[in-house]
Structure 1
Amino acid sequence: MASSFTVIPAIDLRQGKVVRLFKGDYERQTDYEVAPAALAASYADTGAEWLHVVDLDGAREGNLANLKTLRELVAAGMKVQAGGGVRSRADVERLFEAGVQRVVLGSLSVREPNTVCEWLATFGPERLTIALDTHFRDGAWRLPSAGWLEAEKATLDELAPFYADAGAKHVLSTDIDRDGTLSGPNLSLYRHLSQRVPKLALQASGGVRELDDIRTAREAGASGIVLGRALLEGRFTLAEALAC
């Protein structure tokens, strides 16, 4: 069990609005009427230390499409980890300049691991979160990229130990098949990862539907959990989640 545990509310952005996708499908989008900045302020007021932000336009197109909105979220006062559309060192630096504490590297972590290792040495392991979002296909945990739209050759079991050996500290892993489904987190995935790379601080994501999912993810070896749709749809409150 992780010795410390962080509950991280999430805001997914598309065209400056709060949305959620079902299993990462851009054609199966739910829009929420709340303004991103107001939602972030409510999370900050409740006591969240961290906020997770995904630029869905950026993830798909390879640019920082929602940077203006991201700056508004940073202003809410929480520490922000953000990703989506990061393709270059200049993008990383732009996010840091916008006030982001940790930059989430997804597609690049899969496509250009040697480049990401250079950035780990340059910026330090506390400033980067390696996102190894995965689904189980053909007998292995595969790692699609570009907003989960493009298949890649690398597998989770190859890259997770690679990054652990390279000095990474924070790894976020979403089971794509459970993301946005409210079907429960994939505990076997997190047990597998925590056993394979025990020195990484693992953030669980995808499928959380009830408070017990937070407890069981921690017991499975995660050191944090990202909460999206369950909070937006009132399955439980952020205060209740933090109290877990």
Structure 2
Amino acid sequence: MIIPAIDLIKGQVVRLHQGDFNLKRKYLHKPLFYIQKYIKQGARKIHIIDLDGAKNPNKKQIILLKNIFKNKLPQIQLGGGIRYKKDIDLIFNLTSKVQIILGSSIIQDFENVKKWFKLYNPYSIILALDIKINKNNQKIVFINGWQNRSNIIFEDIIEKFLYLGLKHVLCTDISRDGTFLGPNINLYTEIVKKYPEIFFQASGGISSLKDIINLKNSGVKHVIIGRAFLEKKFTIQEANLCWQKE
């Protein structure tokens, strides 16, 4: 599935360059404008990240999210600053059509996240693993809105969660994100082959319909697209058609 992305800072739609909060592009319209536009174009799911919450969990944009969820929406996958059970319960109380994206808490609070996999439906949880690949081809996970290096390897996290029923993983190559440099096809081909039981989502660098074709052929199940839609490189209709043809 093609999933359009909305990233939010202080109520404004933005895109970061390689995860750098100092290198952000601001977009003209309010979040709901883009969400409704994407729905009209055929989006069946929307990816929303509260970057304020990701950077500082005490600054989550709860009022903004509540106002967004008052509207008629397709399924949402929502992330940013989700650190505690009360955060998850708050979101599930806002809407039933939501999947929770967990990022930093996977690393910083592993024992509680394990409990959440048993408490909630594993299909309602997406692990977001944002990585930088070093010279030895090790996939190092970054946390807290990509501000901090964890020194933990991507595969180690996957192995820990597989037996808990892990189904959905969003993997972003930070070096490609917000760049239009194209996605890291080799990365996705490798992890899909290694973990065929997981529904992988690809994110970062997508700028053309050719990128979508290459990602479909890599075996990923979903593609998250932000800047390319915001800057009208192609439409959701075109992206969906391209995805379905492959």
TM-score for the superposition, normalised by structure 2: 0.93
Match of 1:235 in 2: 233
Match of 1:61 in 2: 56
Question: Is the aligned partner of 1:92 residue 2:88?
Answer: yes
Match of 1:187 in 2: 185
Task: Give the C-alpha shift of residue 138 in structure 1.
Answer: 5.0
Q: Distance in 2 between matches of 1:47 and 1:72?
A: 22
Answer whether contact 2:105 2:113 (CA < 8 A) is retained: yes
Match of 1:130 in 2: 127
Question: Is the aligned partner of 1:37 residue 2:35?
Answer: no
Answer whether contact 2:41 2:235 (CA < 8 A) is retained: no
Task: Give the C-alpha shift of residue 70 in structure 1.
Answer: 2.0
Q: Distance in 1 between matches of 2:58 and 2:202?
A: 25
Q: Distance in 1 between matches of 2:123 and 2:68?
A: 20
Stretch moving more, 225-234 or 164-173: 164-173
Q: Taking structure 1 as reference, are residues 215 and 150 closer, same or farther at Cα in structure 2, changes over 3 Å only?
A: same
Task: Give the C-alpha shift of residue 68 in structure 1.
Answer: 2.2
Identity within the alignment, %: 34
Answer whether contact 1:170 1:200 (CA < 8 A) is retained: yes
SS in 1 for 2:232: coil
Match of 2:43 in 1: 48
Task: Give the C-alpha shift of residue 120 in structure 1.
Answer: 1.2
Which residue of 144, 147, 150 maps to 1:146?
144
Answer whether contact 2:19 2:177 (CA < 8 A) is retained: yes
Greater per-residue strand proportion: 2
Task: Give the C-alpha shift of residue 164 in structure 1.
Answer: 2.2
Q: Taking structure 1 as reference, are residues 200 and 63 closer, same or farther at Cα in structure 2, changes over 3 Å only?
A: farther
Task: Give the C-alpha shift of residue 46 in structure 1.
Answer: 1.5
Amino acid across the alignment from 1:223: K
Q: Taking structure 1 as reference, are residues 160 and 15 closer, same or farther at Cα in structure 2, changes over 3 Å only?
A: same
Match of 1:3 in 2: none
Answer whether contact 2:44 2:75 (CA < 8 A) is retained: yes
Cα deviations by residue, 1:109-129 (Å, 9 ceiling, x for unpaired): 223333222111111111111
Answer whether contact 1:161 1:196 (CA < 8 A) is retained: no
Cα deviations by residue, 1:34-92 (Å, 9 ceiling, x for unpaired): 11011111111122111000100000012362222223333241110000011111111
Match of 2:8 in 1: 13
Q: Taking structure 1 as reference, are residues 113 and 192 closer, same or farther at Cα in structure 2, changes over 3 Å only?
A: farther
Task: Give the C-alpha shift of residue 9 in structure 1.
Answer: 0.4
**Which structure 2 segments of 5+ residues have no match?**
none
Q: Distance in 1 between matches of 2:198 and 2:189?
A: 13
**Which structure 1 segments of 5+ residues have no match?**
1-5
Amino acid across the alignment from 2:106: S
SS in 1 for 2:200: strand
Q: Distance in 2 between matches of 1:37 and 1:185?
A: 27
Q: Distance in 1 between matches of 2:216 and 2:19?
A: 24
Amino acid across the alignment from 1:234: K
Answer whether contact 1:63 1:87 (CA < 8 A) is retained: no
